[in-house]
Amino acid sequence: MRIRPLAVDALLAAAPTTIAVLMAQEATAQGWPPLDAPGYVLVGAVNFPLVARSRAPVSVALTS
């Protein structure tokens, strides 16, 4: 069974996105304002370049 590089990169991008969303939900319990829709979009946009990690590693390193 061969693992597709795009699938691996998508999982690697999903991991920090999930952690950031979970941390944002925990931050509301500590008094920070809740994450709104633009906040969720920004979290996804920040981690999205990781999807192209194996196809354009230099570009991803420069944008990260």
Which is higher by pLDDT, 2 or 38? Answer: 38
How far apart, in Å, are the Cα atoms of 21 and each of 3, 4, 16, 58?
27, 26, 9, 27
Q: Which residue has the tokens 């941390």?
A: 23
For 9-47, the pLDDT digits (tens) are 999 999 999 999 999 999 988 889 998 999 999 999 999
State mean pLDDT over 38-59: 90
Model pLDDT, residue 20: 94
pTM above 0.85, yes or no: no
CB neighbour burial string for 26-38, b if at least 16 within 10 angstroms, e if fewer: eeeeeeeeebeee
